[in-house]
Structures are given as structure tokens and as C-alpha cells.
């Protein structure tokens, strides 16, 4: 009597099949991840575009861009433009009165920051909330923001070799530069003499880990260590260098491979490479440096 032939697969056959499936998945996975990141990046670009349009509409109404921050009430441009990004309900709730100190500001307005404002966040970023646990309301952490204004470039104008105008650089918070659009007193279109297509309006700052993400409602702060701008930054470190040593000069950057998104003052959004020429980077950050620009 002979043995019945066993039905089914041998161990080797099974292993081969599993290995082939594994390899196929391994080949597919990076492509799927890249497609997902591409979708997030396009959402990220779109958010920045919405903000640039909101800035334009704000300018149409008030003939000047919003202030980066106000010491009187600690608020900044994120509050000013709310009515132009379909968030009028929050805009109406914000308490605009001057505050005697930071604690009063927190009590009056921190609760608004627990609302997630879609256009303020880049989906590719990994940190969506404040990195300071005290910024909460009823134990709900405040949301942060991934798009910032530019106080101005720091360094040397590559055309005339003059230093860009900056002040109080010895302050602990790092001082402030004056030649960007969102500098201390903000700008009108007429101030952008380099041309709106050659000047950054907003820049992406969405890299992680970064310890200095704060509630989006906070605009400006001051104590014995100087003035801190929470919604506008100096351009003093390279794009994607992931540098946060100077509070007012945290490096712009993102989780997208190779660069970050920037909105120009004409309302267009560009993906700028992290290997951009340093002089060109400073030139685009300034609104009135009379630099001639190469392609960027």
C-alpha cells in the first residue's frame, strides 16, 4: 500500500511566497509614503496661499499689512487676519484691550488658541501643539502655528556690502531686524521697493523637534531680557538648518525633503531649496535692499 500524496504547500513554498509578497510590499511602501507626503505638501502650500490672500485682503481694508505683534495686548497678526480666513467668530471673541501683564493676557485670550485653525498648520509638520505645557485652557493644550512673518535679514547685503539694518542684537532674545515686511511696524505695499515678486511675505517653520513652538495667539512679549517676537523671525540661519539658538532668529524649515514653502508678497507660493545661495536668501527677505536677484 503506498502513502497518500499530501495536499497543500511545503514549508519552502510558503516561505518563498511570503518573501515575494514581503519584497513587493517593501517596494511599494516608499512610493505610498512619498505620495502621502506629496498630498500633505500640497495642502501645506495651499494653507500658505490662503494666508497670503488673507494678508492681501487685510491690506485692501487697512492699507497696511497687520503688525507682527503688539506689546500692549500681546496679540499679533494671527488674531488680526482671523476675519479674512473665515474665523470671524473667534475674531469677535478676542479681547483686544491692553493688558498689564502676561498672566492677564493668558486669562483673557489663551482659550482661543485651543481652537485648531487649519490654515495655520502644515500637515507635514509633526508638532501641532505648543511646546510649553502652561499654555492650555481646561487642560486642553493650545495649538501652534507653522507659518511666520519675516522681521528682516541679518548679515551683509550681497550687492553693496552694507550690513542689513538690525537693532538690539545683544538682547537675550536676539534683537530684531527691520528690512522685512513684517518688521516691528509692518509695511505697506509702497514700502516693498524691491518688488512684491522678489520679497518674502511669510515663511514656513514646521520642523521637529523644535522646543519653541508656542500658542498661535501669542504675538509679542517683553521682559528684562528684551523683546520677543513669536510670529515673525529674523533670517539669520540657513533654511532647514534646524537651528533654534536665537529666539528671534529660529531657522525656517520643514519636514519636506529639500526645502520649505515661502509666500511672496505678490501672493504666490514658492518651494525654496535649502541649498539656496545665502546672499539670494537674504536678498529676498529684504523689501528695500535694492538687490538684483538671480533665479531662485
Partner 1 sequence: MLLILSQRTFLTFVCFATGIGLLITTGCGGKTDPRKYPIWGTVTYQGKPVPAGTVMLEPDVAKGNSGPAVALKIRNGKYDSRREGLGHIGGPHKVRITGLSGEASGDEFFPEGTPLFPEWQTSVDLPKGPSEQNFEVPATWIRP
Choices 24-32, 58-66, 69-77, 264-272; region in contact with partner 1 by CB under 8 A: 24-32
Which residues sit opposite 148 in a β-bridge?
A: 203
Minimum distance from CB of 210 to partner 1 (Å)? Answer: 11
Choices 47-55, 120-128, 145-153, 274-282; region in contact with partner 1 by CB under 8 A: 274-282
Nearer to partner 1, 84 or 216 (CB): 216
Q: Is 290 in the site for partner 1 (CB under 8 A)?
A: no
Nearer to partner 1, 244 or 288 (CB): 244
Q: Is 208 in the site for partner 1 (CB under 8 A)?
A: no
CA 113 vs. chain centroid, Å, equals 16
Neighbour count for residue 154 (Cβ, 10 Å)? 24
Choices 71-79, 82-90, 92-100, 231-239; region in contact with partner 1 by CB under 8 A: 231-239
Minimum distance from CB of 96 to partner 1 (Å)? Answer: 24
- Could you write out the DSSP letters of every residue in 164-204? PPEE-TTSTT--EESSSTTSTT---GGG-TT-GGGSEEEEE
Let me know the angle formed at the C-alpha of 120 by 135 and 68, rounded to the nearest 5 degrees.
75
Minimum distance from CB of 26 to partner 1 (Å)? Answer: 6
Nearer to partner 1, 16 or 72 (CB): 16
**SS percent in the chain: helix, strand, coil, step 5:** 35, 15, 50
Q: How many CA atoms lie within 13 A of 195 on its CB side?
A: 9
- Alpha carbons 206 and 287: distance in angstroms, whole number: 24
CA distances (Å), origin 237, targets 93, 245, 253: 37, 10, 10
Residues 144-183 that bind partner 1 (CB under 8 A): 155-156, 158, 161, 169-170, 172-174
Minimum distance from CB of 144 to partner 1 (Å)? Answer: 13
Number of residues assigned to the chain: 296
Minimum distance from CB of 279 to partner 1 (Å)? Answer: 5
Question: What residue ranges bind partner 1 (CB under 8 A)?
Answer: 12, 15-16, 19-20, 23, 26-27, 30, 132, 134, 155-156, 158, 161, 169-170, 172-174, 211, 225, 228, 236-238, 241, 243, 245-247, 251, 274-279, 281
Amino acid at each position: 500500500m503506498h502513502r497518500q500524496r499530501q495536499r497543500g504547500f511545503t514549508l519552502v513554498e510558503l516561505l518563498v511566497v511570503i518573501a515575494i509578497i514581503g519584497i513587493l510590499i517593501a517596494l511599494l511602501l516608499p512610493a505610498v509614503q512619498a505620495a502621502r507626503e506629496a498630498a500633505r505638501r500640497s495642502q501645506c502650500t495651499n494653507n500658505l496661499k490662503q494666508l497670503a490672500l488673507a494678508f492681501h485682503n487685510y491690506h485692501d481694508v487697512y492699507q497696511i499689512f497687520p503688525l507682527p505683534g503688539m506689546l500692549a495686548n500681546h496679540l499679533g497678526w494671527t488674531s488680526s487676519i482671523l476675519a479674512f480666513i473665515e474665523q470671524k467668530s473667534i475674531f469677535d471673541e478676542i479681547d483686544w484691550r491692553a493688558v498689564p501683564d502676561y498672566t492677564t493676557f493668558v486669562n483673557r485670550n489663551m482659550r482661543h488658541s485651543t481652537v485648531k485653525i487649519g490654515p495655520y498648520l502644515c500637515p507635514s509638520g509633526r508638532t501641532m501643539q505648543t511646546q510649553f505645557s502652561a499654555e492650555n485652557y481646561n487642560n486642553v493644550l493650545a495649538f501652534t502655528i507653522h507659518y511666520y512673518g519675516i522681521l528682516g535679514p541679518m548679515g551683509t547685503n550681497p550687492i553693496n556690502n552694507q550690513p542689513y539694518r538690525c537693532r538690539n542684537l545683544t538682547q537675550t532674545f536676539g534683537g530684531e531686524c527691520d528690512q522685512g515686511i513684517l518688521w516691528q511696524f509692518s509695511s505697506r505695499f509702497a514700502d516693498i521697493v524691491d518688488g512684491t515678486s522678489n520679497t518674502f511675505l511669510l515663511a514656513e517653520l514646521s520642523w521637529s523637534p523644535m522646543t519653541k513652538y508656542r500658542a498661535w495667539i501669542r504675538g509679542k512679549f517683553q521682559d528684562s531680557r528684551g523683546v520677543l517676537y513669536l510670529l515673525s523671525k529674523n533670517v539669520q540661519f540657513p533654511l532647514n538648518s534646524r537651528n533654534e539658538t536665537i529666539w528671534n532668529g529660529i531657522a525656517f524649515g520643514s519636514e519636506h525633503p529639500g526645502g520649505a514653502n515661502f509666500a511672496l508678497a505678490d501672493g504666490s507660493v514658492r518651494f525654496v531649496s535649502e541649498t539656496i545661495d545665502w546672499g539670494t536668501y537674504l536678498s529676498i527677505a529684504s523689501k528695500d535692499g535694492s538687490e538684483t536677484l538671480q533665479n531662485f
